[in-house]
Amino acid sequence: MSQFTKRLVAAALDEWEYFDRSVKKLDGTTRVGKVEYQDGVYLRVNDYWKLVHERYKPQYKHLTGRDRGWPWSAAFISFCMDAAKAGDGFKYSAGHAHYINAAIRAMNANNGDAIYRAHKKNSSRLKEGDMVAYWWGDRRISIDNALQIGWYNSHCDIVTKVSDRSVDVIGGNVMHSVTKKTLRTNSNGELTDTSEKWFVVLECQK
């Protein structure tokens, strides 16, 4: 495991610990720890938004963490990437599509220097530091049409642990918390989970 991956996994686990270990298990059972609207917890989400308006666009400066109508899952990912010292090689954003599309472009260009390169969901053996993404809403998204559409509703989770036929992933704004989920994989370590509309794996190359 690279030093970057170690930092990224540690950052995701630290945030999960702060939110008191919310989980969603393979059998669908859940445990919810701290949530975004509890007293004081919004300040942690505020830290995520601060990073986004510093790294991405100042227009998000008005968001404080109390803004429950604003999804913060991409801000969480951006925060973890900054903590892992991704530098300017990552597309920090308030929306996952921004960096998913960057990874797809890296795939199309066969760019081995990019931090993340995209793969179809069932064609890449998952490892720690990778990300998995699904689309949501009315518009069907695939790795083939994502760049043409440009902006779309989506969500990413960071792979933090690989086991036999499963992986643990951590994402933000899941059950109003930072939540660890367990996803199914096959014997080759490829994503087979059907709990969401998964469409792409972002392979960590750093």
- 90 neighbors 96 (Cβ within 8 angstroms): no
If you average pLDDT over residues 138-156, what whole number do you get?
Answer: 97
Pairing of strands 198-204, 131-135: antiparallel
Radius of gyration of the chain (CA): 16
Q: CA–CA separation, 202 vs 101, rounded Å?
A: 10
Q: So what's the pLDDT on residue 61?
A: 77
- Residues in Cβ contact with 29 at an 8 Å cutoff, skipping those fewer than 6 apart: none
pLDDT at 62 over 90: no
Q: How confident is the model at residue 200 (pLDDT cuts 50, 70, 90)?
A: very high
* 81: CATH: 3.90.1720
If you average pLDDT over residues 90-98, what whole number do you get?
Answer: 96
Reduced to 3 states (helix: H, G, I; strand: E, B; else coil), residue 98 is: helix
Question: Model-level pTM?
Answer: 0.96
Q: How confident is the model at residue 30 (pLDDT cuts 50, 70, 90)?
A: very high
Q: So what's the pLDDT on residue 57?
A: 77
pLDDT at 60 over 80: no
Q: CA–CA separation, 39 vs 5, rounded Å?
A: 32
Count of domains for the chain: 1
Q: How confident is the model at residue 68 (pLDDT cuts 50, 70, 90)?
A: confident
Instruction: Share the mean pLDDT of the chain.
Output: 95
Domain residue limits at 106:
3-204
- 108 neighbors 178 (Cβ within 8 angstroms): no
